[in-house]
Structure 1
Amino acid sequence: MDDSKLEMAGDATKELPMAESQKSDSDLPSGRVSRTKPRLERYLGYLPMLAFAATTQASWESVGGSLGAVFMNGGPVALSYGMLLSFVGSLSLTLSMAEMASIHPVAGAQYHWTYEFAPIAPRFLSFLQGWITVIAWWANVAVGPYLVGTEVQGLLIQNYPSYVAENWHGTLLIFAVLFLPMLVNIFARRLLAPVEILAGVIHLLAYPAIMVVMIVLGQRHTSEFVWAKFVNDQSGWKNDGVTYSTNDLDHCLIPGFDGVIHMSEEVKDAPRAVPQAMVWGLTTNALLAYGFSIAVLYTMGDYQSAANSPTGYPIIEIFYAQTGSKAAASAMMLPMLLAGCYSSFNVLASVSRLTWAFARDEGFPFSEFFSHVSPRYKIPLRSLFLVTLITVLIALINIGSSAAFNAVLSLDTLALYASYLVPIFFILIKRIRTESIAWGPFTLGRWGIPINVFSLLYGTYILIFLPFPDAQPVTAEGMNYGAPVFGVALLFAVIDWFVRGRYKWQGPTVRWTPK
């Protein structure tokens, strides 16, 4: 597959048949009107995509921002050992999806693979998968700006004790962080590649600078503290297994492995470049994140002071304890703030392509409108505006209720993991049945079955404990609303299927084929 292309129903030059793997359901509507399907320009190479994958997850910066949950549930042991489990599990998921991305490197990703590999009801299952994936990523767009905003508020609390953080301050900061990525995505599409490389360089070079400061100035803890101290008296959970499992392992290596896949239709030699970017991006992030985690534990200073930081972020208190200077602590936080910003460039680009792809396949109401590609800017401009508008609306929720806002954000990780497991389960079935699969250049070979099985076990473990609240007793503010919000999203998708989808949705209209 050195030379490949995307075939689309209703190509601009001729009307192509449905994809050769098109499956039929009993409710398949009779007849279909083909229309011109928009395409995107391929201009991104491997290096920008590697940087894209690495900076979208921004793992070591994200670990610094998520220490609060880990310190409450499990403490040092949960971080030092949990990171290892998270890396192995995340790598198995990434390898499984990278293999499918090599077979079908298309923007629709999970819902496309579900359609291709589902043994039954491919139209229905891929339609639900499409909605779940899109809704999960819509929620994800707000996460990066929210973390940057609240970290800025934490620095204000540390530097100006009289400052009182308000929800509307956080909302305005979300808008500010979202504004520049939106402008760059619209007016400077060609700058996306150099911006990705620059962000990758910052991501790598800031790391040794932060590590040197921590190692040289930080107060030393013993190896017993790092590798044997288990905190089980902070969250209210009585069972040690539950305490450990609710330490938000997903934050050790945040999900989003599929972010780069949704850019596939703008990537040169996508069957090779995209899987390699996914795997090496995750591996690089994992090594950096683990080194950072161990360095933090050895040099963090007083545990309780960090865990109970009035800033809301233990890492801010840790940097202050290490340097003895509020200005220095603020400077050390700068790479983490930048990570949230350049991650937003990636996420906004990726989610707009995913939204566009689902609209192109008639998954949305008004699909023809949102599947439009701007001839001037060469991007799905209307889908980009839709994603931005949804993020603005989500951010506005924070003004009225932080609990409702967090409920929406909690959908992100839960729904993403669910979207990963479905196509992996289906391709595993095809493997076990030894059915024919047109493998791409990146394949797991004989390791496919064990890697797929382990990724399903790990993902199921994450899905079980993700909905658990961080602390007991459960309050309205502390409740984890991920499961009920996910249930509402799934119910919405089912209703839309019966009202509209079963008449409109015929599965993905693209297929990757050799020239």
Structure 2
Amino acid sequence: MLVKAHGLEDDSAHNSGEQAAIDRLAMGYKDELKREFTVIQLIGYAFTTTSSWLGIAGAFVTGVAVGGPSCVSMGLVIMLVANICIGITLSELMSAMPNAGAQYFWVMQLAPRRLVRFSAYFTGLCNVVGSCCCGAANSMAATSMILGCVKLYLDNVNFAAWQIFLIAVALNTSLVVFNLREEVLSRLATIGLYISVCCCIAIIAAVPSIAKDHTTASYIFTSTENTSGWSSAGMAFLVGLINSNWAFGALDSATHLAEETPNPSRSGPKAIMATVGVGFVTAFPLTCALMYSLSDYDRVINSATGSPLLELFYLVTNSKAAAVGMMVLVVVPYILCMINIQTYQTRIIWAFSRDNGLPLSRWLSVVHPKLHVPINALIAGIFINTLFDLLYVASTTAYNR
């Protein structure tokens, strides 16, 4: 019956697997969302949301300052191993129990009965807060990059914290339109994958080839720094791994689209593991290219533009126009990432609300009858992003930490 309801044929082993996936998916839930995402689109969505190379590009100086260049370069290798393990675990759980709630839903199914309510609720709450923190951080990062380009040209311009906040909110809110139709999201996922990979390759090729001065391989892979405040170099290295780990943030994004892909039990694991693989293949060469061209560390880290990456581009090219042009190659994928982060947090809020996990759950769990998108959860996610970004106005130090 479920197969017919979803317009699927039931005359092959493939569709028998699909039947089983839908049966598991429908454990007490209505199937309200369209199944638009193909395997390649799900991979594109997951990779663009995680954007490993953007995580490195946006905050690579932080990792260098805390633990040194080796902390970022070798940290990526360490995080690759760790996230392969995480990805395998996520893949196995998604294959067995595909559900948009993902982690909190799995806890509901697997935790000891006496702990299940608290454990599932705490997990779901962490998912909601974590995804909304990602949304807030990405909107502020993209805004800082854009305003950095303005300050590069206009030396005397200074933006107050409240102005940066308002621009970040306006940018984040304006992107909501892309999340109003499922078909747009699925097509944008493939486009985002190609654009992101091409922009990354362009930067990897251009930066070290244009740079006149270069560092050495020993600087990239063995040198250390310790400005973290810890007396132990080992502890500083561990703290610096945060930057490398951020490159694999939102690795679970594909799991929350389990109810929007025809065969989540097979497509989901492929998307998760492909995200880890493509993420490392793009992030590691980019890290080496940026470190190889980091000939004046003090100038980059103390940039008047507020964007160390932009300053590095300017240092390499010695041209404001070229530096801004390279920055566009970062900002465009960042904006695509922001669109997908909105999808990511929306699905988490919506799924958690189906189980009455949040205030106003009845309102948040509503799916628009014509658009087949949880618009109320989308609005709530943007509102929470705004609240988090308000912290930037109160204290930029507190926000960055």
**TM-score > 0.5 by shorter chain:** yes
**Structure 1 residues 63 and 173: alpha-carbon distance in aligned structure 2, compared to 1, 3 A threshold:** same
Aligned pair 1:57/2:50, yes or no?
yes
Q: Return 359-368 or 256-265, whichever deviates more.
A: 359-368
Question: Take 1:357 and 1:52, find their aligned partners in 2: how far apart are those partners?
Answer: 18
Matching residue of 2:379:
385
Where 2:250 maps in the other structure, the secondary structure is coil
- Larger-Rg structure: 1
Q: Kindly report which structure 2 residues correspond to 1:194-213, keeping only aligned pairs within 5 A, or say none.
A: 194-213=187-206
Aligned pair 1:191/2:181, yes or no?
no
Residue 312 of structure 1 aligns to which amino acid in structure 2?
A: G
Q: Kindly report which structure 2 residues correspond to 1:343-382, keeping only aligned pairs within 5 A, or say none.
A: 343-382=337-376
Where 2:251 maps in the other structure, the secondary structure is coil
Aligned partners of 2:152 and 2:305 also within 8 Å: yes
Matching residue of 1:149:
143
Q: Return 357-366 or 81-90, whichever deviates more.
A: 357-366
Matching residue of 1:81:
74
Question: Take 2:55 and 2:76, find their aligned partners in 1: how far apart are those partners?
Answer: 12
Question: Take 2:232 and 2:187, find their aligned partners in 1: how far apart are those partners?
Answer: 49
How far does the alpha carbon of each residue in 1:376-429 deviate from its partner, in whole angstroms, 9 at most, with x for none?
2111111111112222233334333334544xxxxxxxxxxxxxxxxxxxxxxx
Q: If each structure's helix is expressed as a fraction of its own residues, which one has the higher value? A: 2
How big is the shift at 1:276? 0.5
Please, which runs of 5 or more residues in structure 1 have no aligned partner?
Answer: 12-17, 20-35, 407-479, 481-515
Where 1:375 maps in the other structure, the secondary structure is coil
Aligned partners of 2:53 and 2:283 also within 8 Å: yes
Residue 189 of structure 1 aligns to which amino acid in structure 2?
A: E
Question: Take 2:229 and 2:354, find their aligned partners in 1: how far apart are those partners?
Answer: 48
Matching residue of 2:207:
214
How big is the shift at 1:37? 4.1
Question: Take 2:241 and 2:73, find their aligned partners in 1: how far apart are those partners?
Answer: 13
Please, which runs of 5 or more residues in structure 2 have no aligned partner?
Answer: 1-16
Aligned pair 1:103/2:119, yes or no?
no
How big is the shift at 1:157? 2.5
Q: How many residues were matched structurally?
A: 382
**Aligned partner of 2:107 among 114, 120, 140:** 114
Matching residue of 1:242:
235
**Structure 1 residues 238 and 311: alpha-carbon distance in aligned structure 2, compared to 1, 3 A threshold:** farther
How big is the shift at 1:312? 3.1
Matching residue of 2:336:
342
Matching residue of 2:166:
172
Question: Take 1:60 and 1:335, find their aligned partners in 2: how far apart are those partners?
Answer: 12
Aligned partners of 1:69 and 1:248 also within 8 Å: no
Matching residue of 2:302:
308
Aligned pair 1:400/2:394, yes or no?
yes
Aligned partners of 1:51 and 1:199 also within 8 Å: yes
Question: Take 1:291 and 1:307, find their aligned partners in 2: how far apart are those partners?
Answer: 21
Aligned partners of 2:21 and 2:263 also within 8 Å: no
Question: Take 1:164 and 1:182, find their aligned partners in 2: how far apart are those partners?
Answer: 28
TM-score, normalised to structure 2, is 0.89
Residue 69 of structure 1 aligns to which amino acid in structure 2?
A: T
Where 1:66 maps in the other structure, the secondary structure is helix
**Structure 1 residues 209 and 287: alpha-carbon distance in aligned structure 2, compared to 1, 3 A threshold:** same
**Structure 1 residues 302 and 318: alpha-carbon distance in aligned structure 2, compared to 1, 3 A threshold:** same
Aligned partners of 2:76 and 2:284 also within 8 Å: yes
Matching residue of 1:486:
none
Question: Take 1:242 and 1:146, find their aligned partners in 2: how far apart are those partners?
Answer: 28
Aligned pair 1:224/2:240, yes or no?
no
How big is the shift at 1:235? 3.6
How far does the alpha carbon of each residue in 1:76-117 deviate from its partner, in whole angstroms, 9 at most, with x for none?
111221111111112211111111111111110000111111
Aligned partners of 2:94 and 2:255 also within 8 Å: yes
Aligned partners of 1:262 and 1:351 also within 8 Å: no
Question: Take 2:242 and 2:397, find their aligned partners in 1: how far apart are those partners?
Answer: 22
How far does the alpha carbon of each residue in 1:432-465 deviate from its partner, in whole angstroms, 9 at most, with x for none?
xxxxxxxxxxxxxxxxxxxxxxxxxxxxxxxxxx
Matching residue of 1:443:
none
Percent of aligned pairs with the same amino acid = 25
**Structure 1 residues 72 and 158: alpha-carbon distance in aligned structure 2, compared to 1, 3 A threshold:** same
How big is the shift at 1:73? 1.3
Aligned partners of 2:368 and 2:374 also within 8 Å: yes
Aligned partners of 2:56 and 2:283 also within 8 Å: yes
Question: Take 1:63 and 1:173, find their aligned partners in 2: how far apart are those partners?
Answer: 23
How big is the shift at 1:2? 3.8
TM-score, normalised to structure 1, is 0.70
